Amino acid sequence: TSMTRVGDTRGWVRDVVRSGLLAPEEAYAEIRGVIAVDHPSLDADATAREWIDTARREWVAEATSWADPTDYERLQAAFASLTQRDILVLQGCADHWAAKGALTDSPGLRGVAWFVPSDVWHAIDEAMLEVNVWHPDTANAAPGDALLDEVLGVFADAGLAARFDEGRVEVTARWQRRPEGA
């Protein structure tokens, strides 16, 4: 039904806002565009602004009860550690082609850890971030790999449970990025 589609779109808006992957004006443009296409009977401009404002208010209110540090802050500590170890971290990158391009453009890296926006949305809703880990030649890290063991160790050192499953590292973490200015 159209109400289900509206609910789905509002849930997506919530995740886009909370992910923090896009600057506010970029998020607005993307959200407005989706509303215009998926819900042509709605005023895309006004609806986008209303839904973003509502999602932000709920996010700000909810964030006051979050633990310190949040899983998001632990993730950022792990990502900083990986970066110091010459493992490129791409948060919310477009796709595997973007990850491959970034790896190709950065010689001397020991690997790349990357995930797409929908992985972040899953971590917001389900507390599980799936991270791809590749060697410099784009080969997937695999059990027994020193690179995989190192990445898993970095997540553990940050206080996050992580395991390798079906080609990706599953990090038990809720993406609780704190709202700017809240």
pLDDT at residue 4, as a whole number: 75
pLDDT in tens, 10-24: 999 999 999 999 999
Strand order in the sheet with 87-91: 87-91, 111-115, 128-134, 168-172, 162-165
Contact between 52 and 17 under an 8 Å Cβ cutoff? The reply is yes
Contact between 151 and 130 under an 8 Å Cβ cutoff? The reply is no
pLDDT at residue 3, as a whole number: 67
The Cβ-side half-sphere exposure at 45, using a 13 Å CA radius, reads 0
pLDDT in tens, 104-150: 898 899 999 999 999 999 999 999 999 999 999 999 999 999 999 99
152 three-state secondary structure: helix
Query: What are 18's two structure tokens?
Result: 């909370």
